[in-house]
Structure 1
Amino acid sequence: MAWFAVYTKSRMEKKVALRLQEAGIEAYCPVSKKRKQWSDRKKWVEEPLFRSYVFVNIDLAKQSPIVRRTLGVVNFLYWLGKPAVIQDAEILAIQQFLSEHLEVEAIGNSVQVGDFITIDTGALKGQTAKVVGIKNKHEVRLKIESLGFELVAKIENKSEGN
Structure 2
Amino acid sequence: MNWYVIYTKPKWEKKVAERLLEIGIESYCPVITQIKQWSDRKKKVEVPLFNSYVFVKLLESERNSVFQISGVVRYLFWLGKPAIVRDEEINIIKKSLSSPNLSDVSVTSIQVGDRITLETGAFSNQDAIVKEVSNTHYILVLESLGCVLKIKYK
- TMscore range, shorter length: 0.7 to 0.9
Say how many residue pairs are matched.
144
Which residue number in structure 1 is paired with residue 33 of structure 2? 33
CA RMSD, aligned part only?
Answer: 3.2
Identify if the C-alpha distance between structure 1 residues 45 and 141 changes in structure 2 by more than 3 Å, giving closer, same or farther. same
Alignment partners' CA distance in 2, 1:122 and 1:14: 25
1:149 is aligned to 2:141? no
Contact 2:7-2:72 within 8 A present in 1 as well: yes
Which residue number in structure 2 is paired with residue 52 of structure 1? 52
Q: Detail structure 1 runs of 4+ shifted over 4 Å in the superposition.
A: 101-104, 113-117, 119-125, 133-136, 138-142, 153-156
Identify if the C-alpha distance between structure 1 residues 74 and 42 changes in structure 2 by more than 3 Å, giving closer, same or farther. same
State the one-letter code of the partner of 2:128: K
Contact 1:34-1:102 within 8 A present in 2 as well: no
Contact 2:114-2:129 within 8 A present in 1 as well: yes
Identify if the C-alpha distance between structure 1 residues 23 and 151 changes in structure 2 by more than 3 Å, giving closer, same or farther. farther
State the one-letter code of the partner of 2:27: A
Which residue number in structure 2 is paired with residue 71 of structure 1? 70
Alignment partners' CA distance in 2, 1:44 and 1:116: 31
Which residue number in structure 2 is paired with residue 95 of structure 1? 94
Alignment partners' CA distance in 2, 1:114 and 1:2: 34
Contact 2:31-2:49 within 8 A present in 1 as well: yes
Name structure 1 gaps, 5 residues minimum. Answer: 105-112, 157-162
Alignment partners' CA distance in 1, 2:89 and 2:130: 17
Q: Which TM-score applies when normalising by structure 2? A: 0.74
Contact 2:116-2:130 within 8 A present in 1 as well: no
State the one-letter code of the partner of 1:28: Y
Contact 1:90-1:144 within 8 A present in 2 as well: no
Alignment partners' CA distance in 2, 1:116 and 1:66: 41
The CA deviation string for residues 75-117 of structure 1, in whole angstroms up to 9 with x for no partner, is: 110011110011222211111222224489xxxxxxxx65486
State the one-letter code of the partner of 1:96: K
Q: Which TM-score applies when normalising by structure 1? A: 0.71
Q: CA deviation at 1:41?
A: 1.5
